[in-house]
């Protein structure tokens, strides 16, 4: 993942012009609420950038939210939008493959549209190591990636499309698939994109 690339994307496009923009991530919110109704539970939104998920989580009363993105440009947009409420959020500007995240901390790790950009096996392996290191025992991974009929490229980059079997294969045996569903997202330009939403629970020795 290239910091320079994503800084350019966020700098040159308004928040509602990027292809993945949604005013609210309703499906993500539904899955997070189901995974942890405890409003004090630590949650991290990986690749959150300009996403409004953090706004909605704060509105719902979640008190321990972190947002990580490789681009400071994207983070700053979200901070400015939230105003004084941004002080209630932990903001992390880093590459998810190398970020020094706390061990066994997060009850929920949320990722919408990061994992499918990891086209190399070593990138995916680094991502999985980070989840296993920083998500608490019996915590949850909530993901949205391009589905089998999703686009093959996004924001000028190649992506990997997934069905649930391939996603399980990439994540490995520690991730137990709890639920999955397909959603068609309309880009601001009116083009449909198929997303696979999946919720996993981390369990020792449990396969998908």
Domain ranges of the chain: 3-202
Q: Which residue has the higher pLDDT, 53 or 10?
A: 53
Q: How far apart are CA 179 and CA 187, in angstroms?
A: 25
- C-alpha closest to that of 148 among 134, 131, 167, 133: 167
pLDDT tens sequence across 10-20 = 676 777 667 66
* pTM for this predicted structure: 0.91
| Between residues 134 and 17, the one the model is more confident about | 134
CATH homologous superfamily, domain 3-202: Vaccinia Virus protein VP39 (3.40.50.150)
Mean pLDDT of 86-104: 95
pLDDT tens profile 150-183: 999 987 889 999 999 999 999 999 999 999 999 9
């Amino acid at each position: 993942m290239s910091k320079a690339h994503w800084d350019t994307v966020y700098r040159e496009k308004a928040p509602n012009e990027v292809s993945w923009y949604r005013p609210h991530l309703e499906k993500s919110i539904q899955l997070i609420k189901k995974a942890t109704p405890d409003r004090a539970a630590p949650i991290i939104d990986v690749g959150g950038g300009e996403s409004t998920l953090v706004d909605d989580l704060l509105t719902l009363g979640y008190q321990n939210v972190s947002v990580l993105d490789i681009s400071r440009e994207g983070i700053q947009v979200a901070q400015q939008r939230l105003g004084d409420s941004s002080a209630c959020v932990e903001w992390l500007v880093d590459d998810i493959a190398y970020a020094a995240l706390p061990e066994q901390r997060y009850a929920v790790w949320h990722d919408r549209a990061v994992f499918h950009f990891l086209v190399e096996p070593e990138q995916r392996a680094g991502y999985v190591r980070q989840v296993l290191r920083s998500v608490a025992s019996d915590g949850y991974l909530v993901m949205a990636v391009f589905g089998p009929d999703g686009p093959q490229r996004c924001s000028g980059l190649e992506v990997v499309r997934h069905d649930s079997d391939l996603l399980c294969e990439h994540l490995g045996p520690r991730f137990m698939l709890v639920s999955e569903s397909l959603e068609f997202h309309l880009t601001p330009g009116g083009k449909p994109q198929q997303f696979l939403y999946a919720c996993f629970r981390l369990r020792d020795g449990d396969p998908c």
